[in-house]
Amino acid sequence: MRETLLHARREASQLLQRAVRNLSMRAYDRTLRVARTIADLDGASDIDAQHVAEPLRYRVADGRTT
């Protein structure tokens, strides 16, 4: 999958796989891009679960699930 190209850790990949059930592919892609940006800002070379969880929380806070 695409997250392997972005060096997502296993926990981050699992979180994305659970979230994809409730996201459109466009939302999935956006979530992954924001997670990569957050990881970059953290100085991390890999995307961790915390980097994926943050954009997912933004979606919930906005009331968007797709």
The number of folded domains in the chain is 1
Cβ(8)–Cβ(46) below 8 Å: yes
| Confidence label for 65 from pLDDT (cuts 50, 70 and 90) | low
Residue-range definition of the domain harbouring residue 23: 2-61
- Residue 66 placed within a domain: no
- Residue 57 placed within a domain: yes
Look at residue 20 and tell me whether its pLDDT is greater than 80: no
Look at residue 64 and tell me whether its pLDDT is greater than 50: yes
Read off the pLDDT of residues 32-54 as tens digits, 9 standing for 90 and up: 899 999 999 999 999 999 999 99
- Residue 53 placed within a domain: yes
Average pLDDT, the chain: 82
- Residue 20 placed within a domain: yes
Look at residue 22 and tell me whether its pLDDT is greater than 90: no
Q: Nearest-CA neighbor of 12 among 28, 63, 59?
A: 28
23-43 burial string, b = 16+ CB within 10 Å, else e?
beeebbeebbebbbebbeeee
pTM (global) more than 0.85: no
